[in-house]
Amino acid sequence: MERGSKGTVTSLSSLFPVEEAMKAELRVKEAIAQRTKELDQLNLFISENSSLMNLVQRLPDEISHEIMVPFGKVAFFPGRLIHTNEFLVLLGDGYYAERSSKQTSEILHRRAKTLESKVEGLKAMLLDLEAEASFFNATAAEAAEGLFEIREDYIEQSTNIATQNQTGALESNADPSSRTSGNRSSEDEEYARMMLRLDELELEEARADENASGIEEEELPDLDDETSARCSGDEGEDIKNQPHKQDESIEGNVIKSLGMPSNVKMEEYFPRLEEKISMRTTTKGEVFKDNFSSHSSGDRAADNLGSHSSGDRAANRKAFTGLIVERDFSSNEGQTFSQLLMADSAICRLLVLILQNQFLDSRCRGETADFLVT
Amino acid sequence: MAPSALRELQHEIETQANLLSKLQKDTTKNHQVRKQYTIQLGENELVLKELDLLNENANIYKLIGPVLVRQDLAEANANVRKRIEYISAELKRLDGTLQGLEEQQHEKREAILKLQQKIQALQAGKSNS
């Protein structure tokens, strides 16, 4: 199973020493305790405030109240509470204002709102701290148990890729092999099939094309197997009219891809794992880039794609593998092409054509093809 | 000669360490004062908000010692605003001082490090010889 595979075995305790993890956990716990105390105090303030508001609202019910007035430290005497609607409210910093009962309760209400917003902030902080604490706890426990992290390089032919015990997801190893799954073999075959199909399609297009200047065909030969997993799972891929990929990030490309006129060049591309694309940049590409960005706002599919691919890309940031085919379409050809595409479900999964009729390009001669988005 | 040089270096380290601890105390004091000022600033801003909501004929009193002194709305507004400005200026000043203190701390730490290295080199040299 591991013929010729290189791998590393690292003990978690070497990465996250047990004592340090525990110390960090203690620190976070102290911070949590402190915040909890503050939270308790704020809650106390809130309850006091509400009881005060009740009192303030009940006092003007009578003209005068019979009460026991405190006298010194240990004595009371009976007395009357008069001017029941006049309150001297402390505004802060030694300033008092004479207010009626209603106005006082308004002031108290505003204070309560500020307190509540503070409580919300504290609660959010507390949640974060607790998440941190639990993470440290888990790491400390795992390190203490002596868990090992096993990492193996991805071998193309091997069907059983060793899974590794990856704990605590802290190691962002750029090694793509660490993220392989067991379906790799079947996806490889599928991928190969798709590539063959695409090659055939390209040949057909090339034959059908008459306009030499507008036709550009480029194909990215570099298709690593690692892309197969991503490609088959990738539902949103744009057919873009962007020949120039070198200077743009993949994410930018994908997100910007949008509708395009039919007789504009089209590219199908898969996100590449390694940026080995040698795309010819053309002046057309520059124009389309601008057009794309201007029309990118409303496209949900592009957003989905963007998020989708960016999520994928987070896993495989360094590489890009894709097939880029540039076409010059009339609407007929577009239909054909899309039909061809539909015929092959595997390709459909890979390629999503997003076109919008409102895409305006001066070179577009007014024709647009309607492509289905799959 | 070597032991006396060693002792000198150790003396120097002690003095530098003392200076460093003094600097750290200053920093903590600065932090505390800053916190106080920040709280006061917040309070004064609250007062300003409430004063804005008062109408002209409301009576405002200021607590000066044990006395509640009647004040004008306009007067109170002006006072509170001035106080806010003053506190903000103080905070800025404290920020500057804090920065200076931190830089000094940094320098002291580096000096101490260098001295320690020298001591280590001396000791290594002594043990070798």
What is the domain range of residue A271? Answer: 158-373
Rounded to a whole number of angstroms, the distance from the CA of B75 to the nearest CA of chain A is 12
Q: Report pLDDT digits (tens) over A285-306.
A: 333 334 433 343 334 433 444 3
- pLDDT band at A169, cuts 50/70/90? very low
Instruction: Calculate mean pLDDT across residues A189-202.
Output: 88
Distance from CA of A19 to the nearest CA of B (A): 26
Which pLDDT score, from 0 to 100, does residue A182 have? 44
pLDDT at A254 over 50: no
Q: Are residues A110 and A252 in the same domain?
A: no
The answer to the question of residue A1 being in a domain is no
Residue A248 belongs to some domain of the structure: yes
| Residue A156: pLDDT band with limits 50, 70, 90 | confident
| Average of per-residue pLDDT across A160-168 | 44
Q: Give percent of chain B with pLDDT exceeding 70.
A: 98
- Check pLDDT > 60 for residue A27: yes
Task: Report pLDDT for A278.
Answer: 39
Q: Find the CATH number of the domain harbouring A146.
A: 1.10.287.370
Determine contact: B107 vs chain A, CB below 8 A: no
Tell me: do A218 and A243 sit in the same domain: yes
What's the mean pLDDT in A218-242? 39
pLDDT digits over A311-357, tens only? Answer: 444 444 555 555 565 555 544 444 455 555 454 555 545 554 444 44
Asked whether the whole model's pTM tops 0.80, one would answer no
pLDDT at A135 over 80: yes
**Domain shared by A181 and A232, yes or no:** yes
Please give the pLDDT value at position A211: 58
Are B47 and A88 inside 8 Å of each other by CB? no
Q: State how far residue B76 is from chain A, nearest Cα, in angstroms.
A: 8
CB within 8 Å of A89: residues ≥ 6 apart: A96, A97, A98, A99, A103, A104, A107
- Among the candidates A99, A133, A151, a domain finishes at A151
Average pLDDT over every residue of A281-288: 38
Same domain as A165, residue A289:
yes
Q: Is A87 or B9 the better-scoring residue by pLDDT?
A: A87
How far does the CA of residue A96 sit from the closest CA of chain B (Å)?
5
The pLDDT value recorded for residue B84 is: 94
Residue of A93, A96, A107 lying closest to B61 (CB–CB): A96
In this structure, how many other beta carbons lie within 10 angstroms of the beta carbon of residue A292? 24
Interface test with B, best of A45, A88, A96 (most B CBs within 10 A): A96
Q: Measured between CA atoms, how close is A16 to chain B, in angstroms? A: 28
Residues A14 and A94 in one domain: yes
Least confident of A24-28, A159-163, B12-16, B93-97: A159-163
**A218 & A103 share domain:** no
Q: Are residues A128 and A50 in the same domain?
A: yes
- DSSP letters spanning A304-358: HHHHHHHHHHHHS-S------------HHHHHHHHHHHHH-HHHHHH-B----TT
Same domain for A221 and A77, yes or no, is no
Q: How far apart are CA A134 and CA A263, in angstroms?
A: 57
The pLDDT score that the predictor gives to residue A232 is 38
The reported pLDDT for the residue numbered B3 is 74
Do residues A141 and A172 share a domain?
no
> What's residue A286's pLDDT?
38
Chain A contact set for B57 (CB, 8 A): none
Q: What is the DSSP string of B5-74?
A: HHHHHHHHHHHHHHHHHHHHHHHHHHHHHHHHHHHHHHHHHHHHHHHHHS-TT--EEEEETTEEEEE-HH
Same domain, A341 and A367: yes
Instruction: Using alpha carbons only, give the angle A231, A236, A239 rounded to the nearest 5 degrees.
Output: 95
Size of interface A-B (CB pairs under 8 A): 49
Closest partner CB to B51 (pick from A91, A94, A110): A91
Residue A110 lies in a domain: yes
Query: Domain count of chain A?
Result: 2
Residue in B44, B59, B68 closest to A92 by CB: B44
Are A133 and A164 members of one domain? no
> Which two tokens mark A339?
């039909």
- With cut-offs at 50, 70 and 90, classify the pLDDT of residue A122: very high
Distance from CA of A95 to the nearest CA of B (A): 5
Confidence band of B57 (pLDDT split at 50, 70, 90): confident
- The confidence score (pLDDT) of residue A360 equals 45
The top-scoring range by mean pLDDT among A23-27, A82-86, A255-259, A271-275 is A82-86
Close Cβ partners of B9 (under 8 Å, ≥ 6 residues apart)? B115, B118, B119, B122
Mean residue pLDDT across chain A: 64
Does residue A169 share a domain with residue A124? no
Closest chain B residue by Cα to residue A114: B46
pLDDT, tens digit, 9 for 90 and up, residues A235-253: 333 443 344 444 444 433 4
Q: Between B47, B59, B61, which is nearest A92 by CB?
A: B47
Helix (H, G, I), strand (E, B) or coil at A239: strand
Q: End-to-end CA distance of chain B: give it in Å, rounded.
A: 13
Q: What is the pLDDT of residue A212?
A: 53
For the segment A368-372, the average pLDDT, to the nearest whole number, is 42
Which residues does A contribute to its contact with B (CB < 8 Å)?
88, 91-99, 107, 110, 114
User: Of A151, A177, A201, at which residue does a domain stop?
Assistant: A151
User: A53 CB contacts (<8 Å, ≥6 apart)?
Assistant: A105, A108, A109, A112
**CB-closest option in A92, A93, A96 to B68:** A96
Query: Cβ contacts (< 8 Å) between B64 and chain A: which residues?
Result: 94
Our CA-based measurement puts residue A88 at a distance from the nearest CA of chain B, in whole angstroms, of 9
Helix (H) or strand (E) holding A38: helix A18-58
Name every chain B residue with its beta carbon within 8 A of the beta carbon of A94: 62-64
- The dihedral through the CA atoms of A56, A57, A60, A61 has a sign that is negative
Query: What would the mean pLDDT of A119-137 be, rounded to a whole number?
Result: 89
**Boundary-marking domain end, from A124, A151, A178:** A151
CB < 8 Å to B50, chain A: 91-92, 97, 107, 110
Q: Answer whether residue A2 is part of any domain.
A: no
Instruction: Name the B residues in 35-54 with CB < 8 Å from any A CB.
Output: 40, 43-44, 46-47, 50-51, 54
Closest CA to A149 of A46, A333, A7: A7
Q: Does residue A355 form part of some domain?
A: yes
Indicate yes or no: CB of B61 within 8 angstroms of CB of A92. no
Cβ pair A333, A205 in contact under 8 A: yes
What's the confidence (pLDDT) of residue A280?
40
Res A268 pLDDT > 80: no
Nearest to B47 among A88, A91, A110 (CB): A91
Best mutation site among B38, B47, B80 for testing chain A: the one with the most A CBs within 10 Å? B47
